[in-house]
Structure 1
Amino acid sequence: MSNEHYLRNPLIHRDRRLGRRHTDWVSQFDCSHLRPLIICRGPIRKEAMDVFKEMGIEHFGILLSEKDSIVYQNALAPELRTMADPGHIHRVPDYTGSNKEERDQRIAQIISIARDNDYNAIFAGYGFMAEDESMVAAMERAGLNFIGPCSRTVHDAGLKDEAKRTALKAGVSVTPGIDNGTALTLLEKHPTVADLKALCQQHDLAVDEAALDDAEQSLEDKADLVLAASYGKGIDLYTVDELCATLTRAVEKMASEYPENRIRLKAISGGGGKGQRILGIGEAARTAELVREILNEVKTTGVGDNKNVLVELNIETTRHQEIQVIGNGDWCITMGGRDCSLQMHEQKLLEVSVTVESLRAAIAQAEASGNETETRILKQDLATLESMEDQAERFGAAVGLDSVSTFECIVDRDKHFFMEMNTRIQVEHRVTELCYALRFANPENPDESFVVESLVEAMVLLAAHGDKLPRPERIPRHNDSVEARLNATNQALQPSAGGVIEFWSDAVEGEIRDDQGISLHNPDTDTFMKYTLAGAYDSNIALLLTVGETRLDTYERMAETIRRTRMRGKDLATNLEFHYGLVNWFIGQNINARPTTRFIVPYLTAVGELKEQANGMDLDYAWSEVSKAALKGLGEAATGALSRALELKRTLLLRPLQRMLEEPHILSGWLSINRDCYTLIDGRISWNENPIELLADTYHFLNMDYVPGAAASSMIWDHDNDLLQEALDFYGELNNRLEADDWIALQTLLAQPEPAAGFSDTSWQQVRAAHLGFQAGADILAVLPSIAEATGYYALAVNPDLSIHIPERLLDDELQERMAKVLVPPPVAKSDEILAESGGMFYGRESPQHELYVREGDHFEAGDPLYIVEVMKMFNKVYAPFSGTIDKVLVEDDGVIISKGQPLFKITPDEKIVVQSPEEIAARRRELTAGFLQQLL
C-alpha cells in the first residue's frame, strides 16, 4: 500500500480533509517555514489563506487597500473574520498606484512591510501586480521568496511581445501580426546601428556595444535592447503620436492583406480583458484613438513606460482555449485545457474544462449514436487539445517555467495559434484542479508519494522546494468541470458599480463557491452580513463551480445550483439570471457545441428581442381572451362551473408567466429546454406534452416549489399548489389506467365520448369534465413559445458540426445596441438633459493631454463621444444617442464619481423627442397581444 499524502483535498464548499502519513521523503517538502504576505484580494486571497492554514503555514499576513473599507460597514474585508492576529493585517492606499512612480512606491512599501513584520515570501495571486516583472524582480532582490514564476520567466513569457518571439523560436504557432511596434517606431527616427549607438551615447544608456555589433541580431532586436535600457532609466525615446503613426501603418497593411478580418490591438502588459481593442473593417483611421485608450487603461502613459502595443489579426471564428502548465525550471507538464470562449468585452463568463478523458467519452457516445459528423469534430478537438498541450509544454520549457502559468490559444476550426502566456494563476484555475491532481512520488521508492489537488499549494511547494520536486504524474479526478463567474453586472452584462448584497442563500450540495468569504455568517449571530460591491475593483463577486463525469452532467448540476440560489439586495444587479439562461441554452441545444468569442453579444441580442416582445404583452388582456375562448359554446351550467374554475386558476397560471416576461434570461433558459414541448401547426401552438405537467415543471424551473413556511412571494401559493397537485394526481391516475403512450394519445382518447376500457359511461363523462376543467385556461402558457416564434429565437442554434448558427440580424451593430437598451433601459431623462447610463468615475476627455470631448456651446452629432466612465476597472466610452447642443456641463472635473441616472449635460436636442401617452402604450400592447393570441386560440 502506497504512502499517499493528501496535502489538500478540495471538497464541496471548501470542506477539505488532511490525512498526513509522514515519511522522511514526504516530510522534506514541509512548507511551514514560509511566512507569506498575501498582496492580492478577492476569492484568491481567501483561498490562499485556507491553503496556507492547511499546509501548516501559520505566520502569514494580508495586505488591504483603503478601497477595501467600503465593502463592510464594520470590517475591511470578509476574510478578517478568520484572522486571529490584527497585527498581520496591513494597509496601503491602493495596490498598484495610478502610474509608474506610484507603482514603484507601492513595491517599496510592500517590501518594507514584509521586512518589518518578518515575512519571507510574497503571494500575489492574480490581478494587480501578479505578473509585473519589475515587482517580481524587486521582491527577489529584497530576498523575498516570490510564490509564482521568477522575474526571468515573467519577462520571457509574460510580456506579450517577448512571449511571441519565444514561441516562434520554440516552434509554437502564433497569430499573424507585429509585436515590435515600439522598435519599428524607434527605427523610423534612428534607422541604423550607428544611429542607435549615437542615441545610447546621447542618453548614457547602458547597452552592450558588442550586442549592437552582433551580425546575428536583427536591427529590430537591437532597437529593443536600446528601448529596454531607456525604460530602465525612465526616459522616452519616442512619443505616443509617433507610435500611433507606426501602428496605423501596420493596421493598414494587415487590413489590405486580410480584408475580411478585423484587427486586434493589445497592450503587452494587458490582461483580464484590459488593454485590448478590436478595430472593425475599414476602421484603420481609429488606430491612434484606440491605442491611447489602451495605454490609459493599462496605465502606461508615464515617461519611461513601455508603451508597446501588439497588432494582431483577429481570427473571426475564434475559440479561446488555454492550457494549464506547471514546471520547476527543469521539468514542465500540462494539466489539460479550459474553454473560455464564452466571454464579452474580453471578460470571461463561463469556463469549461477540456480534458482528454472527457473528449474520449464524448467521442464514444457520438460513435454509439451513429453521429458521424459529431464524432469527426470531437476527434479533431481531441487532436487539437493534444497538440496545444504539447506546444504548451515546449513553450514552458523554453522560458524555464518554475511555477504555475497558463498557455493561451485561439482555435480556428482545425488550427490553433498561441496568443499569450499568463505568468500567474488564473481566476479559473479551479476548473483544472477539479479535473486533475498531481502525484509526486519518490524516484527511488514509488510507494512513497503525496497528492496535491490545489494549484495554489503547488505554487507554494515549487517556491519552497522547486529544485527537489520530482516530475509529477497527473491523476484524473473528474472528467468535467465548469465555472460561472458571478459578476456585478446588469441584464445587458454592463458593469454595475455599487449595490449591497443583503441576503445570499447557502451553497447547496454539489456547489463549489469561491466568494472571498462573503457567504461566511456572522460568527456570533449566524446571520448573513451585508456586503457592499466596490466599484473600485473588477465586477466579480464569486466563482461558482460544479463537476461531473460528463459535460452534460456538469452543466445540469450548474443549472441546479443556480436554480436554487437566492440573492437579494439594495440596488443589486448580477448576472445570475444570465448564467441560468445560458447554461440551459446549451443543455437544450448541445453541450458539446463550439461557441466562439463572438457568441455572447448575438445571444444577448436574441434575449433582448424576447424582452422586447414580452414588454408588449398585456397578460391580463390575454387571460381575458383565453377565458372567453374556453367558455365559448358551453351551456349555462357548464359556463358557470368553468368560469369559477378559471377564476381559481388565474394566479396559478399567471404568476410564473409574469415572472418570465419580466426576466428575459430566465425565459431564454425555459424556451431552450422546452423546445420540444410544442409543435407549430398551421400557425398555432399544439402541445406535445401535458400543459399541467409543463406548468409544474415551470414552477420548479423558477425555484417556486411549495415549501411550508417559506415566503409567499418566492413560491407557489398554497391554494394554487393544492389545485396543481390535484390536477397532477388526476393525470397520474389516468396514465396508470389508460393505454396512452404520450400526451397526444391521451388527448385523443379523452376526446372520444365512448368510455375507455375500465370506465362506466358516467365515470368517463366525469373524467372528461374534470379534464376540461383542469385544462381550461392552460392555453395561456403558449404565450411563451409564441414569443420565441415571433422573434425567430430558435434560429440561433447548434449546427450538426457543433458550430453555432448565428442569424445575420443578430450580428447587426444597431440591433445589438438597441436590444442592450431593451434589456437595460437608460434612465428616463427630460428632453433637455443627458443622464449617466451607469455609475462610475467620469472622464470628459481621452487622456489628460487631450481636449474635452464637448464644452458648453458645442454641437454634437449622434454617435459622437461625450465622456468616458470607468466602471469596475473598465473604461467605457459613451456616445451621443442623438444630435444636439451642449447648454451646460454639469460635472465639474475629471475623476468625479457619478451615479446612474445623474444629469451630466443640459442640452438642446436638434429634434423634438416624442413621448407616447399611457393610453397609446396600452393600446399598442393590446394590439400586439391580440396578434400573439392568434397562435393560441
Structure 2
Amino acid sequence: MFDKILIANRGEIACRVIKTARRMGIATVAVYSEADANARHVRLADEAVLIGPAAARESYLVADKILEVARQTGAQAVHPGYGFLSENEDFAEACERAGIVFIGPPASAIRAMGSKSAAKALMEKAGVPLTPGYHGDNQDPAFLAAEAERIGYPVLIKASAGGGGKGMRRVDRPAEFEAALASCQREAANAFGSDHVLVEKYVLRPRHIEIQVFGDTQGHCVYLFERDCSVQRRHQKVLEEAPAPGMTPERRAAMGRAAVEAAKAVGYVGAGTVEFIANQDGSFYFMEMNTRLQVEHPVTEMITGLDLVEWQLRVAAGEPLPLRQEQLAIHGHALEARIYAEDPDKGFLPSTGKLLHLAPPPESDHVRVDTGVEQGDEITPHYDPMIAKLIVWDLDRERALARMRAALAQYRVVGVANNVEFLSRLVTAPAFANADLDTALIEREQAVLFPQGREVPQEVWALAALAELQREARVAEAAGRHSAQPASPWNRLDGWRLNARAQRTLSMRLGELQQQVGVSYLKDGHELSIGGQRLFVRGTLGENGRIHAQLGERRVSAAVVISGEKRHVFFEGGAWGVVLVNPLHAGGAGDDPAGGLKAPMPGKVIALVASAGSTVEKGAPLLVLEAMKMEHTITAPAKGLVKAFHFAPGDQVTDGVDLVDFEVQA
C-alpha cells in the first residue's frame, strides 16, 4: 500500500479522498490555486502546495505542475478525483512515465471510453443497444443539421469528450439547430479542450440509470448495482438514489452484465460508471462510460457498506478486488441531494460570496454530509458552486425520503443564494415521492417546484421580531457591563415605564411585501401586533441562531441568523430573508433608468449575439456570459433598441456591471 498520495483536485472530492486515506494511514498532499489558499482541502491535507493562479487551466489542469509536486513531496500515487484531469489519458500516461501510480484506469481505457463517439462504436460491436444518432467524425454544421433531420427532432447535441451536463443542448426544431450547435461547441471546447460533438435522438421521458463497475489488475470485474440519476436540470444531476426504484432483478442483472462486458472490453481497472438511458418500458440504451469515480458514489457506498475510495487505493496498489460478485448485496435505500450556491428562482443562476452561516444537519448512521467548505469560506466564480452533498440512508425508499426531508429542513445556509428550499420541495413533490421519474421531472413539475406568491406565515414575522428584540437586549446588557454603573436599571431594554407599557413598531420587508410589527413590552415577554392580530411571544436566542420560542399557545424551535440588515428565518423547512427596515433611511435602489443590463455574476463575455443599433423582441438573446464552467445567455427584458455593448468577447466582467445599453420601446 502507498505511504503518501497526491490529490490532483479540490473541494469536496479532495476532502473525501483525504478522509479515507487518513483512516488507512496514508499521508496526503493537496494542491491548490491562489483562489483556494484557505480552502478546506488545503487545511485537511498533511501537506499542500500552490500550483498557480485561480483559473483551472493555469493550475488544476496543468499536468506538469502536479507531477512536479508529486516528485518533490515523494508522493507515490496521484488520485485525480473527478473533473479536471481525471479522464485525461495524456495525464495518466505522464504519471506512468514519471513512475507515479495513476489511481484510475489505464490510459488506453480512458482513451477508448473518453470519446463518446468511439465508445458507442465499441459498444455497437459488443452488441450493446445504442440510441439512434450520428457518432462520426464529420463535424460540418450543415452535415450535422442534415443528420438531425434524418434522426428526427427532438435531438440532443452532446460533446464527445463531455460530462457533467456541459456541452449538451436539446434541440426541438431545425431553426434552433445552428445556434445550439455553436453554443454547445464553445462550451465543450472550453470545458474539455475539444469541440467535437455527436447528435442523438432525444428519448422522450427517459430515465438515467448508471451502473457502478470495478475492475482490478488481475482481470476481475464486478458491478456494484445501479443508481437512478434521472432528476436533472440542464442535464446536470440534482438528486440521485440507489437502488433505482422499480428495478427488477432481471433487468438489474442484464444491465450489470452489459456494464461489466463494456469494462472488460477495454481492460478496465478501478472505479468506473457505465451510463444508460432507459425507456419507461424497461428497454435501455448505452449512453457513455465515465472512467472515474462519480459525484454520486456515496449512495452506492451507503447501500453496500463499502468504501469505494479504499477500493480504488487497494486496486491501484495491485491488490485484487476485496469481494466477488456473489458476495455483493444491496441493503436499504440511499438518496443524495447536491447542495449548490445557486438561485433556482433565477434559472439556477450560480451565486458567489462568503458563507456567513453554514449549519448542516448532524451526521449519523443515517445522514452523511460530504463537503469542501465550512462556515466563513468563500464560494468563488472560478469553480463549480457546490456547497455539499447530503446523503441519507434507511431500510426502504419511503423511510429514506423521510430522512432526506428532515435533513433538508435542518440545513441552514446564509451568505449565498442556495437550492435547499428547492430540494425540499422536490423531495416532497408527488411525482418524485411516487417514483414517477424521468429527466424532465423538474420541467413538468414547475407549478409544484416554483410556487408563485408564497404566503409568509405569521410565525416568520414573529420570529424575526423576537430575534431582533433579543439581540437588542443582549447589546444593551453587554454595554451595561462595561459602563460606570453596571447595575443601573437604565442599562436594560425591558420596556419599563412608570405609568404605561412601552410600545414601538418594527418595520420589516420581505421582497415587495412590507410588514409593520407592533411591539408591547410585558413583564415576561412581548405582545406583537401583526396584521391586526395580537400574539404573545417570548423566547431565547441561542448559539448559531437557534431560537426556542413560545408564540401564543404554541412552542416552536427555529433559527434566526442575523446578518447586517437581514434576519434570516429558518422555520419548518422554509427560509425567509426578512429585512429590518431603518425608518430613518430614505430612498433605495431602483430600476436603472438608462435601461442598462447588468452582469448577474462575475464571468467572461463569450459572444455578442445581437448587433448594436438593432431592434430586438422580448426574450431575444443579446450576449453570452461564461461563469462557473457554464454558459448563461443574457436576453432582452422587453422589445427595444440595443444601443451599445460595453464589453467585447473575451473580456472579464465583475458582478453588477452594465453589459448593454438597452432602450425599451413601446
In the alignment, is the contact (CA less than 8 A) between 2:86 and 2:292 conserved in 1? yes
Separation in 1, partners of 2:427, 2:177:
37
Give TM-score, length-normalised by structure 1. 0.56
How far residue 469 of structure 1 moved from its aligned partner, in angstroms, is: 6.4
How far residue 125 of structure 1 moved from its aligned partner, in angstroms, is: 0.6
Distance 1:388 1:887, change over 3 A: same
Separation in 1, partners of 2:21, 2:361:
23
What is the identity, as a one-letter code, of the residue corresponding to 1:601?
A: E
1:729-878 maps to which residues of 2 (within 5 A)? Answer: 829-836=591-598, 838-843=600-605, 845=607, 852-878=608-634
Helix, strand or coil at the partner of 2:105:
coil
Separation in 2, partners of 1:892, 1:54:
51
2:361 corresponds in structure 1 to 507
Helix, strand or coil at the partner of 2:231:
strand
2:452 to 599, 606, 611: 611
Helix, strand or coil at the partner of 1:504:
strand
Distance 1:844 1:165, change over 3 A: closer
Distance 1:837 1:583, change over 3 A: farther
Helix, strand or coil at the partner of 1:172:
coil
Separation in 1, partners of 2:539, 2:133:
59
- Pair 1:318-2:185 in alignment: no
2:164 to 259, 272, 276: 272
- Pair 1:555-2:443 in alignment: no
Separation in 2, partners of 1:279, 1:488:
28
Separation in 2, partners of 1:150, 1:479:
33
Helix, strand or coil at the partner of 1:97:
helix
Helix, strand or coil at the partner of 1:555:
helix
2:275 corresponds in structure 1 to 408
In the alignment, is the contact (CA less than 8 A) between 1:148 and 1:403 conserved in 2? yes
How far residue 316 of structure 1 moved from its aligned partner, in angstroms, is: 1.1
1:384-533 maps to which residues of 2 (within 5 A)? Answer: 384-413=251-280, 414-437=282-305, 453-466=306-319, 471=324, 473-476=326-329, 478-492=331-345, 494-508=348-362, 509=364, 510-516=366-372, 518-519=373-374, 529-533=375-379
Separation in 2, partners of 1:895, 1:605:
38
What is the identity, as a one-letter code, of the residue corresponding to 2:395?
A: E
How far residue 511 of structure 1 moved from its aligned partner, in angstroms, is: 2.1
1:339 corresponds in structure 2 to 228
In the alignment, is the contact (CA less than 8 A) between 2:332 and 2:394 conserved in 1? yes
In the alignment, is the contact (CA less than 8 A) between 1:833 and 1:903 conserved in 2? no
1:197 corresponds in structure 2 to none
Separation in 1, partners of 2:453, 2:133:
41
**What fraction of aligned residue pairs are identical, expressed as a percent?**
27
- Pair 1:293-2:183 in alignment: yes
Separation in 2, partners of 1:48, 1:301:
24
1:121 corresponds in structure 2 to 77
In the alignment, is the contact (CA less than 8 A) between 2:12 and 2:41 conserved in 1? no
- Pair 1:64-2:32 in alignment: yes
Separation in 2, partners of 1:269, 1:724:
52
2:487 corresponds in structure 1 to none
1:582 corresponds in structure 2 to 426
In the alignment, is the contact (CA less than 8 A) between 1:402 and 1:466 conserved in 2? no
Offset from partner CA, 1:50-75 (integer Å, 9 cap, x none): 111111212x3111122324xxxxxx
Distance 1:907 1:659, change over 3 A: closer
Separation in 2, partners of 1:306, 1:565:
39
In the alignment, is the contact (CA less than 8 A) between 1:433 and 1:455 conserved in 2? yes
1:162 to 118, 134, 137: 118
Separation in 2, partners of 1:861, 1:468:
60
Offset from partner CA, 1:505-548 (integer Å, 9 cap, x none): 253243200112x34xxxxxxxxx41111121112110001100
1:132-211 maps to which residues of 2 (within 5 A)? Answer: 132-180=88-136, 182=137, 185=138
In the alignment, is the contact (CA less than 8 A) between 2:216 and 2:318 conserved in 1? no
In the alignment, is the contact (CA less than 8 A) between 2:311 and 2:321 conserved in 1? no
Separation in 1, partners of 2:15, 2:89:
24
Helix, strand or coil at the partner of 2:263:
helix
Helix, strand or coil at the partner of 2:343:
coil
1:224 corresponds in structure 2 to none
Distance 1:152 1:385, change over 3 A: same
In the alignment, is the contact (CA less than 8 A) between 2:32 and 2:42 conserved in 1? no
In the alignment, is the contact (CA less than 8 A) between 1:350 and 1:484 conserved in 2? yes
- Pair 1:720-2:552 in alignment: yes
1:535 corresponds in structure 2 to 381
In the alignment, is the contact (CA less than 8 A) between 1:248 and 1:287 conserved in 2? yes
In the alignment, is the contact (CA less than 8 A) between 2:154 and 2:202 conserved in 1? yes
Helix, strand or coil at the partner of 2:82:
coil
What is the identity, as a one-letter code, of the residue corresponding to 2:387?
A: I
> Which is richer in helix?
1
How far residue 472 of structure 1 moved from its aligned partner, in angstroms, is: 5.9
Distance 1:607 1:112, change over 3 A: closer
Helix, strand or coil at the partner of 1:435:
helix
How far residue 896 of structure 1 moved from its aligned partner, in angstroms, is: 1.7
In the alignment, is the contact (CA less than 8 A) between 2:541 and 2:547 conserved in 1? no
1:632-711 maps to which residues of 2 (within 5 A)? Answer: 709-710=541-542
> Which is richer in strand?
2
Separation in 2, partners of 1:42, 1:713:
27
Larger radius of gyration: 1
Gapped regions of structure 2 (runs ≥ 5):
462-508, 514-536, 558-588
Helix, strand or coil at the partner of 2:437:
coil
Separation in 1, partners of 2:632, 2:83:
20
1:112 corresponds in structure 2 to 68
In the alignment, is the contact (CA less than 8 A) between 1:478 and 1:547 conserved in 2? no
Helix, strand or coil at the partner of 1:395:
helix
Separation in 2, partners of 1:660, 1:595:
34
Separation in 1, partners of 2:65, 2:405:
45
Offset from partner CA, 1:532-565 (integer Å, 9 cap, x none): 1112111211000110000011110111111122
- Pair 1:248-2:90 in alignment: no
1:353 corresponds in structure 2 to 242
In the alignment, is the contact (CA less than 8 A) between 2:429 and 2:449 conserved in 1? no
In the alignment, is the contact (CA less than 8 A) between 2:605 and 2:651 conserved in 1? yes
Separation in 1, partners of 2:654, 2:609:
17
Separation in 1, partners of 2:599, 2:444:
21
In the alignment, is the contact (CA less than 8 A) between 2:539 and 2:549 conserved in 1? no
How far residue 293 of structure 1 moved from its aligned partner, in angstroms, is: 1.8
Separation in 2, partners of 1:585, 1:607:
7
1:791 corresponds in structure 2 to none
Separation in 2, partners of 1:291, 1:894:
20
Distance 1:341 1:837, change over 3 A: farther
Gapped regions of structure 1 (runs ≥ 5):
1-30, 70-75, 186-241, 256-260, 360-377, 438-452, 520-528, 621-657, 663-704, 726-826, 846-851, 912-937
1:39 to 1, 5, 8: 8
How far residue 477 of structure 1 moved from its aligned partner, in angstroms, is: 6.3
In the alignment, is the contact (CA less than 8 A) between 2:646 and 2:660 conserved in 1? yes
